[in-house]
Chain A
């Protein structure tokens, strides 16, 4: 029990202390971004690391959270909390669509179908100009106050972001220890075997993806009210769809804190590369970032924490999704494996 919660609580305490120690706006801003995207990546990982649903459509859920809370607030003056709640419910429904896609599609096929699903939302948000403000974006009115989820300083956002992240990560840890968490793992590892044991695979996957949608949408809502200006590009584009994937994979999909570490690394790294090489040469920081991404994933396919956990314990850090060594499940074990894969893909 203690080992499951200790790393999460230690990190939370450290983050909570930051606004007291530092007032540097740039770093506090980066911290809020990290917490929002760590929430998003952890939510994504509930479906991906948890139940094997490797989705590229989570940008849709993030965008539903962002626009679902922002549009009623900007157009009708509806409370952000009500809007975010309604948007989260809507996102859970949309997430169920992603879950249903997994009924017929596995692996690459599922990834591509969800990618198209996410891009449909990008096109809709971009073109429904009357509602969403279109490609120019939507500006939220600035009326500071807790009732409007709008604050004059950054510190409150750090605590709200931290609370949201903790809720998401804690849900991961709790699920992991419950019956449904084990069922999710069984479905991820081998759906047919899981079903033969009487596990309702579809229901388990739908549960995982709906929880994932809930927190992804809440991250989107907080993003909208933190930046007070959202565009389809910032909330629904392919970049947003791949962001949680990259963060969770780089940090370590099979460790609870992995997505947070990935988000911190990527956002802080971006910030650092820009501050070191400057913005004089357009594209230089982006090129370095891309190259580093390739190097990190090729040298540490299990992610930073996955690799570190293996070095330290010969197993993962506590509270992760992992049951057996990561990254081997799709690798053919026997000569018969390729044929199994073929059937799995056709199925």
Chain B
């Protein structure tokens, strides 16, 4: 039983980590807390479900086909809303992103209706054996994709020129500007990456979970918890936090009852924030300088 909890928990947690990476990246580099992050995940889910039901293509193919739309939505949100909140007080950011929550949720309601939708897909629902536990293949695909994307982003940030530029902006905006980096462009890139990660997470779990315009806020709250566990701004920390929260969630649901999972998560959240605001890993382990986008 314990082994099953761990396997299922890790599989669930991989996607939590992927959502949270977008949030932690945006916070670490831009110092913006995106309260609408869960709603972007929901948008990814809804678009995937809509595309699959209309054209009956494979959901994973749909996720790839939707990539340009995801980039566009992220860029548009950055240019129209987020760019104007940078450097403003927390109040302005909060109210603006709460406006985004309402906007996205209600646009989804207008476009797709309030019904809870489920898509069935043979590729995703087929049972497979993993380390002696029976899981759905879709969970495995989502988990693998989450790890691959995380690794890819990590390498991008530490190896490529663009990644270095982004880290420089995160470290010291003024100095980055002085050496001629385009801070605005770095912000746009970071926001788009963050949103695409959130929406891809939505697309990846769409074959497994029921989808409605209101599915976003739960994931948004979970990703806040994950980000705090992993340390704000830490990419690998967010993945670690996601895996941990996945296990905690499955364990609580299994041992105590599914209605208490949120309580467990929030209590962990408050305790970690109060005891170790820099995250469980602190600053010196996995999320050491290389992996930490913004230690500010």
**Does chain A bind chain B?**
yes
A249 x B114 contact (CB < 8 A)? no
A116 x B213 contact (CB < 8 A)? no
A108-155 contacts to B, CB under 8 A, are 108-109, 111-113, 115-117, 119-120, 123-124, 126-127
Q: Is A171 an interface residue (CB 8 A)?
A: no
Q: Is B53 an interface residue (CB 8 A)?
A: no
Q: Is B3 an interface residue (CB 8 A)?
A: no
Tell me how far the C-beta of A37 lies from the nearest C-beta in chain B, rounded to whole angstroms.
Answer: 15
Q: Considering the chains assembled together, what is the distance between the CA atoms of A283 and B217 in angstroms?
A: 16
Tell me how far the C-beta of A197 lies from the nearest C-beta in chain B, rounded to whole angstroms.
Answer: 24
Interface residues of A (CB under 8 A from B): 54, 101, 104-105, 107-109, 111-113, 115-117, 119-120, 123-124, 126-127, 238, 242, 245-246, 249-250, 253, 281-287, 289-294, 297-298, 301, 326-327, 329-331, 335, 338, 341-342, 345-346
B94 x A286 contact (CB < 8 A)? no
Please name all residues of chain A whose beta carbon is closer than 8 Å to the beta carbon of B108 when the two chains form the complex: 283
Beyond A104-B277, A281-B110, A338-B296, is A126–B95 a contact (Cβ under 8 Å)?
A: no
Q: Which one, B81, B110, B221, contacts A294 given CB within 8 A?
A: B81
CB closest residue in chain B, given A291: B103
Tell me how far the C-beta of A245 lies from the nearest C-beta in chain B, rounded to whole angstroms.
Answer: 6
CB closest residue in chain A, given B83: A298
CB closest residue in chain A, given B266: A116
Beyond A105-B277, A120-B266, is A284–B106 a contact (Cβ under 8 Å)?
A: yes
A282 x B109 contact (CB < 8 A)? yes
A108 x B27 contact (CB < 8 A)? yes
Q: A108-B27, A123-B259 are in contact. List 12 more A-B contacts (CB 8 A).
A: A104-B277, A111-B94, A116-B273, A119-B262, A120-B263, A249-B95, A283-B109, A286-B105, A286-B106, A290-B103, A331-B89, A338-B174
Q: Is B84 an interface residue (CB 8 A)?
A: yes
A-B contact pairs, 7 of them (CB 8 A): A54-B90, A101-B273, A238-B221, A245-B91, A282-B109, A290-B101, A298-B81
CB closest residue in chain B, given A101: B274
Please name all residues of chain A whose beta carbon is closer than 8 Å to the beta carbon of B113 when the two chains form the complex: 282
Q: Is B100 an interface residue (CB 8 A)?
A: yes
Please name all residues of chain B whose beta carbon is closer than 8 Å to the beta carbon of A242 when the two chains form the complex: 94, 98
Q: Is B172 an interface residue (CB 8 A)?
A: yes
B94 x A115 contact (CB < 8 A)? no
CB closest residue in chain A, given B101: A290
Tell me how far the C-beta of B191 lies from the nearest C-beta in chain A, rounded to whole angstroms.
Answer: 16
CB closest residue in chain A, given B273: A113
Q: Is B173 an interface residue (CB 8 A)?
A: yes
B94 x A294 contact (CB < 8 A)? no
Q: Is B99 an interface residue (CB 8 A)?
A: yes
A284 x B110 contact (CB < 8 A)? yes
Q: Is B107 an interface residue (CB 8 A)?
A: yes
A283 x B110 contact (CB < 8 A)? yes
B259-275 contacts to A, CB under 8 A, are 259-260, 262-263, 266-267, 269-270, 273-274
Tell me how far the C-beta of B222 lies from the nearest C-beta in chain A, rounded to whole angstroms.
Answer: 11
Q: Is B102 an interface residue (CB 8 A)?
A: yes
B270 x A117 contact (CB < 8 A)? yes
Please name all residues of chain B whose beta carbon is closer than 8 Å to the beta carbon of A298 when the two chains form the complex: 81, 84-85, 92, 96
A108 x B101 contact (CB < 8 A)? no
A290 x B106 contact (CB < 8 A)? yes
Beyond A245-B95, A249-B94, A331-B87, is A287–B103 a contact (Cβ under 8 Å)?
A: yes
Q: Considering the chains assembled together, what is the distance between the CA atoms of A293 and B99 in angstroms?
A: 5
Q: Is B228 an interface residue (CB 8 A)?
A: yes
Please name all residues of chain B whose beta carbon is closer than 8 Å to the beta carbon of A331 when the two chains form the complex: 87, 89
CB closest residue in chain A, given B267: A120
B188-223 contacts to A, CB under 8 A, are 213, 217, 221
